């Protein structure tokens, strides 16, 4: 169905207030939620790919995708004969990850046991690493003094461990603002933003991880397992929980 913004004559809308109802209505459908989760790997997907992932027809997917675009959650781009869909930007991705963290925990546990255990361990969170390994990595960076909390955010401080993860600080810069991201499966923070993206890009380039499955899961290679273990301090396949 199309996004319906109609209202009765007796209803009034305060245009100075954010229209949370539009975002909420766009999210209030299981098929749309599944397609958004698929797009959280940061890549662009076709209608047919998203339809298959959500278990619906391509025609139904088109209606849902138009709804998501009208709500400002995704963007569309045509290349040749194909129309590609992707998350509208990092702000939308951060919102979706936070909303996922508000979902009932018992439901998440059941879903993980049934089919999403790999996603809970390691996955793409839009443009950075998410999952238990990413949380353990964030904890290790804090423990090594390379990362610290400051107010509601984080600050990354110059440390040799960053170069191990492919992050290079500009000359003369001793610290940079880091962006924490609440992990939906661990309910704790992992590292997002520019630093998180640099780590994921490095991990992919070095063959530490590679995409696995139709969703946003990542598979860790033996080389990646050793690289992450050198930072985390234990086997990243079974990360310690604090």
Q: Name which of 141, 151, 152, 150 is nearest 198 in CA terms.
A: 141
Q: Write down the pLDDT at residue 9.
A: 47
Asked if residue 106 is part of any domain, the answer here is no
Same domain, 47 and 145: no
Q: Write down the pLDDT at residue 17.
A: 72
Q: Write down the pLDDT at residue 16.
A: 66
User: Could you tell me the CATH number of the domain that includes residue 78?
Assistant: 1.10.10.10
The pTM is what? 0.67
Asked if residue 104 is part of any domain, the answer here is no
Beta carbons of 186 and 175 less than 8 angstroms apart: no
Q: Write down the pLDDT at residue 114.
A: 44
Token pair recorded at residue 141 = 């960076």
d(C-alpha 52, C-alpha 35), whole Å: 9
Expressed as residue numbers, the domain containing 62 is 20-88
When divided into structural domains, the chain yields a total of 2
Asked if residue 159 is part of any domain, the answer here is yes
Residue at a domain's end among 70, 88, 106: 88
Same domain, 130 and 225: yes
Going from the first residue of the chain to its last (242 residues), give the mean pLDDT of each consecutive group of 10, the final group possibly shorter. 46 66 90 89 87 92 94 90 89 84 56 55 90 94 95 91 93 89 85 94 96 80 95 75 44
Same domain, 128 and 27: no
* C-alpha distances out from residue 210 to 168, 175, 201, 224, Å: 22, 30, 11, 10
Same domain, 74 and 124: no
Beta carbons of 208 and 184 less than 8 angstroms apart: no
Same domain, 123 and 225: yes
Q: Write down the pLDDT at residue 37.
A: 85
């Amino acid at each position: 169905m199309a996004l319906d913004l109609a209202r009765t004559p007796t209803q009034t809308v305060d245009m100075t207030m954010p229209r949370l109802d539009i975002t909420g209505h766009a999210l209030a459908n299981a098929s749309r939620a599944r397609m958004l989760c698929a797009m959280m790997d940061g890549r662009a997907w076709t209608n047919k790919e998203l339809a298959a992932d959500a278990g619906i027809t391509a025609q139904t997917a088109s209606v849902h995708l138009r709804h998501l675009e009208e709500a400002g959650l995704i963007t569309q781009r045509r290349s040749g004969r194909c129309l590609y869909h992707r998350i509208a930007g990092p702000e939308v991705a951060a919102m979706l990850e936070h909303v996922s963290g508000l979902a009932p925990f018992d439901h998440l546990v059941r879903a993980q046991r049934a089919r999403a255990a790999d996603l809970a361990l390691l996955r793409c969170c839009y443009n950075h690493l998410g999952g238990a390994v990413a949380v353990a990595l964030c904890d290790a960076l804090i423990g090594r003094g390379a990362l610290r909390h400051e107010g509601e955010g984080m600050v990354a401080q110059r440390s040799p461990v960053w170069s191990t993860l492919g992050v290079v600080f500009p000359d003369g810069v001793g610290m940079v603002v880091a962006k924490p991201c609440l992990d939906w499966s661990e309910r704790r923070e992992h590292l997002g933003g520019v630093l998180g993206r640099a780590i994921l890009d490095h991990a992919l380039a070095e063959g530490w991880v590679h995409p696995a499955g139709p969703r946003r899961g990542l598979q860790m290679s033996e080389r990646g397992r050793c690289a992450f273990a050198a930072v985390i301090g234990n086997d990243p396949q079974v990360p310690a929980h604090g």
